[in-house]
């Protein structure tokens, strides 16, 4: 459905700071034109009105770590793969995502960068907003599923080549600050507007402080691929919990992190310090079986994705499932879970003045959920990108 204006009435609105119920949202073009309680808002005459009791409306989800989905990966050498991934994530409420790339040989990684940059620049209305470069400047001792032969010695010149090949579309970069030379890379990337994210790291607290001073502001998939917590040897976990400069990604699938540990994280960092991500791979949305990721065989059983040696390798998570996990298994308020899935990611990207929040003048990026947290429709900048049946006549 494409239309210049329409209204959603008798819905529960998660702003995400409060709940408006029963609420109404009026969309005009790409923006929200009116919003509030049904008793306070007069819907302009002549526009379609959809009465949707039982539907919850949230800001569009923003996922900063996506490798693929629905049988495709962002490292696949075709634009059709990117379109398929984009459509799949629209169907799960994600209105903005970063295409995540993994460590490779220089020429192949630069080719991936350029292909995604071409797609972003050639597709208006896409939910692919930029690139998250996960590696290749990460610690080989805690590489996860990354192949060790593709990890690079930290080097500013090589980073600049990568950044140039992306034509400025790298928004986030995972890096290990303890490796010699990586503070220089962090400083350079930060000066170019990229958010350096600490991950796949054995860094100690002093290393993290240096990284923060040089622009690091983010932590990749908290608790996974990092130095374990130790009470006499403070490392990344202590820094991530203690330092408010660092926002942390959380893969809320109940597999990567136990729900009790997620509750502890929420109690310490609060709803403003956590960003829900999926770390989804091509197996997301697909049946159990064997797939490939990072040039290796991946086994998927009961939503768990792992290498043959048992190492977790991405996830099959989608964002509405992450929100559901936070509410149902972790016990956080729905407003908090939605904030972690929307506004917080927008803040990392510096676009919170338009995205991640529902109010007049903001972009009309909406997710419509039923009581089971199933996505019934996704609206992006006023255009319905996915629907089950809500807008059909």
Please give the full DSSP string across 144-195, using - where no structure is assigned: TTS-GGG-----HHHHHHHHHHTTT-EEEEEE-TTSTTHHHHHHHHHHTT-E
Say if residues 210 and 176 touch (Cβ distance below 8 Å).
no
Active site residue 370: no
- What does the alpha-carbon distance between residue 213 and residue 62 come to, in Å, rounded to a whole number? 27
Give CA angle at 84 (60, 387), nearest 5°.
45
- What does the alpha-carbon distance between residue 295 and residue 10 come to, in Å, rounded to a whole number? 49
Helix, strand, or coil (residue 25) = strand
The rounded radius of gyration (Å) of the Cα atoms in the chain is 20
Catalytically annotated residue among 279, 336, 363, 365: 279
CA 346, chain centre distance (Å): 10
What would the two tokens of residue 248 be? Answer: 């942390």
Is the Cα torsion angle 219, 222, 224, 228 positive or negative in sign?
positive
Of 353, 354, 316, 358, which is closest to residue 335 (Cα–Cα)?
358
Name residue, tokens 């597999």: 255
- 116: part of which helix (H) or strand (E)? helix 106-122
Q: Determine the angle formed by the axes of helices 106-122 and 156-165, rounding to 10 degrees.
A: 30
Q: Determine the angle formed by the axes of helices 182-191 and 205-213, rounding to 10 degrees.
A: 30
Q: Determine the angle formed by the axes of helices 156-165 and 182-191, rounding to 10 degrees.
A: 40
Enzyme catalytic residues: 279
């Amino acid at each position: 459905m494409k239309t210049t204006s329409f209204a959603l009435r008798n819905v529960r609105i998660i702003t995400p700071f409060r709940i408006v119920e029963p609420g109404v949202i009026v969309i005009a073009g790409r923006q929200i034109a009116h919003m509030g309680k049904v008793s306070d808002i007069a819907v302009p005459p002549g526009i379609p009105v959809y009465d949707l009791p039982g539907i919850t409306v949230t800001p569009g989800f923003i996922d900063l770590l996506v490798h693929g989905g629905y049988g495709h990966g962002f490292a696949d050498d075709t634009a059709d793969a990117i379109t398929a991934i984009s459509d799949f994530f629209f169907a799960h409420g994600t209105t903005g995502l970063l295409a995540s790339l993994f460590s490779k040989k220089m020429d192949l990684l630069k080719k991936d960068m350029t292909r995604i940059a071409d797609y972003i620049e050639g597709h208006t209305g896409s939910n692919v907003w930029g690139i998250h470069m996960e590696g290749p400047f990460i610690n080989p001792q805690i590489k996860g599923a990354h192949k060790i032969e593709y990890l690079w010695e930290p080097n500013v010149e090589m980073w600049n080549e990568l950044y140039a090949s992306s034509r400025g579309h790298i928004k986030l970069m995972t890096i290990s600050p303890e490796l010699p030379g990586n503070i220089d890379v962090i400083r350079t990337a930060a000066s170019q507007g990229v958010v350096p994210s600490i991950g796949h790291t054995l860094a100690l607290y002093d290393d993290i402080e240096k990284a923060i001073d040089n622009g690091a502001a983010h932590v990749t998939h908290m608790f996974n691929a990092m130095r374990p917590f130790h009470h006499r040897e403070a490392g990344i976990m202590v820094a991530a919990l203690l330092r408010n400069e660092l926002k942390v990604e959380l893969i809320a699938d109940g597999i990567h992190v136990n729900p009790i540990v997620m509750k502890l994280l929420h109690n310490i960092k609060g709803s403003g310090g956590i960003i829900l991500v999926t770390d989804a791979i091509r197996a997301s949305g697909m049946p159990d079986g064997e797939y490939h990721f990072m040039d290796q065989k991946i086994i998927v059983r009961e939503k768990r994705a792992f290498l043959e040696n048992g190492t977790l390798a991405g996830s099959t998570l989608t964002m509405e499932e992450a929100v559901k996990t936070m509410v149902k298994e972790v016990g956080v308020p729905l407003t908090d879970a939605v904030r972690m899935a929307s506004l917080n990611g927008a803040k990392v990207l510096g676009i919170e003045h338009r995205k991640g929040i529902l109010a007049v003048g903001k972009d009309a990026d909406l997710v419509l959920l039923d009581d089971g947290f199933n996505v019934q429709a996704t609206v992006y900048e006023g255009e319905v990108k996915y629907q089950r049946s809500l807008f059909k006549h």
